[in-house]
Amino acid sequence: MMEREFPESPRLAVGAVVVDRGRVLLVRRGKEPLKGHWSLPGGALELGESLEEGLVREVREETGLAVEAVELIELLDRIHREGERVRYHYVIADYLCRVVGGEVQAGSDADAVRWVERVEWSSPSALKLDPITVRVIEAGWQRAREMESAPVEQVRKEGK
């Protein structure tokens, strides 16, 4: 298994912007990197697992919810350095997701899980959130709003 800490090469990971009734699902990280921070559910892909399979597995493990991927929101680097060395390096595919089943409960790497209103992620003091995470949440939330307001014919044409 490839090392997560001080790896020889980047790890591929997935993140989920799960939007339901205008709220976004967040988890409080129970492990490094960013232990104690609120973040999107997700994690590293396993060998032989597709991006969507990994996304569904990670969200289920961390939150108890079954989701489906709607579309890719952003592909980004997360590089944490310790001096000259790279402690963590993830390339993360963040997807907009919708809930298709399950019940919310914190599991595996998550200390806590909760639905969050926009005022909470957009306020600098409300939650301990990384600025990059806030940007991805906002992009996913905005896209979900666009899709909700689009006429059914337009959504069908886009293949959603």
The CATH number for 52's domain is 3.90.79.10
The CA distance from 58 to 70, in Å, is 16
The CA distance from 123 to 115, in Å, is 15
Assigned domain for 27 exists:
yes
Name the residue type at position 41. Answer: P
Assigned domain for 2 exists:
no
Q: Give, as one character, the DSSP assignment of residue 129.
A: B
Assigned domain for 5 exists:
no
Assigned domain for 58 exists:
yes
Q: How confident is the model at residue 127 (pLDDT cuts 50, 70, 90)?
A: confident
Q: How confident is the model at residue 50 (pLDDT cuts 50, 70, 90)?
A: very high
Q: Can you give the residue range of the structural domain that contains 108?
A: 11-157
Q: For the whole model, what pTM was predicted?
A: 0.87
- In the chain, helix, strand, coil percent, each to 5? 25, 40, 30
Write the pLDDT tens digit of every residue in 79-95: 989 999 999 899 999 99
Assigned domain for 4 exists:
no
Assigned domain for 118 exists:
yes
Q: How many domains does the chain have?
A: 1
Assigned domain for 1 exists:
no
Q: What pLDDT is recorded for position 89?
A: 93
* Mean of all residue pLDDT scores within the chain: 89
**Phi and psi at residue 26, in whole multiples of 5°?**
-125, 155
Assigned domain for 6 exists:
no
